[in-house]
Amino acid sequence: MTYLLTYIFRFINHLNLNTAIINLFDISMPSWILKINSSFKIAVIASIPTIMLSKLTSWTITNQDYIIGVLACITIDHLIGSIFHAFKLKDFSLKKNICGLITKVGLCAASVILFEIIHDSVKEATFIYNYLKTVTRLIVILYPAGSAFINMSYLTNGSFPPIGWLKKIKSFNENIDFEDLKNKNN
């Protein structure tokens, strides 16, 4: 990030030096106007990441429980998956393990960003907003949690968690219907 900002500032200074050289031959442009022009350019460029970081910080504070939950699911899934591959399948590879962790974290982060953009776009339609927020958050959490449940089932030879729970998660993943997660008897 600092390299990018340094490059941008050097580019702006280069433009201003070229403008100053051109203005040497034209006395109508005082140097203080060039300074104001440079300050304006730097302020505009610096404001873009500042606004983005401000929004990200605000969202992170507001949704810290959700973020902690997703990270906890990823951690649990990673630990159980590591145990499963090391002791049950005996095909543990540190390289594949790290790649799998980075992939899962990256996909969860990317999907959170995409889903937040989608349901932020329909904020005015309260029902759609609440539905999308619930569904997308559940999808993001069920990705690592579902994987952890499947690994638990393999580790316990199918005795835990119950097969019915795994079928409910699979059915929800196929058609995104909350009814699949409910108890049908109630």
In this predicted structure, what is the pLDDT of residue 14?
59
CB 83 within 8 A of CB 150: no
Q: What percent of the chain lies above the pLDDT cut of 70?
A: 82
One domain, residues 176 and 101: yes
Do 165 and 116 lie in one domain? The reply is yes
Q: How many helices (H) and strands (E) does the chain have?
A: 6, 0
The model's confidence at residue 172, banded by pLDDT at 50, 70 and 90, is: confident
Give me the number of domains the chain comprises. Answer: 2
| One domain for residues 116 and 71 | yes
Higher pLDDT, 55 or 28: 55
How far apart CA 113 and CA 128 sit, in angstroms, is: 18
By C-alpha distance, which of 139, 121, 153 is closest to 181? 139
39 occurs within a structural domain: yes
How far apart, in whole angstroms, are the C-alpha atoms of residue 59 and residue 55? 6
- pLDDT at position 185: 64
**21 against 136, higher pLDDT:** 136
Contact 45, 8 (CB under 8 A): yes
Give the per-residue pLDDT at 96. Answer: 95
| Model confidence pLDDT, tens digit, residues 91-148 | 999 999 999 999 999 999 999 999 888 877 888 888 888 888 888 899 999 999 999 9
Give me 126's structure tokens.
């309260």
In one-letter notation, the amino acid at residue 120 is D
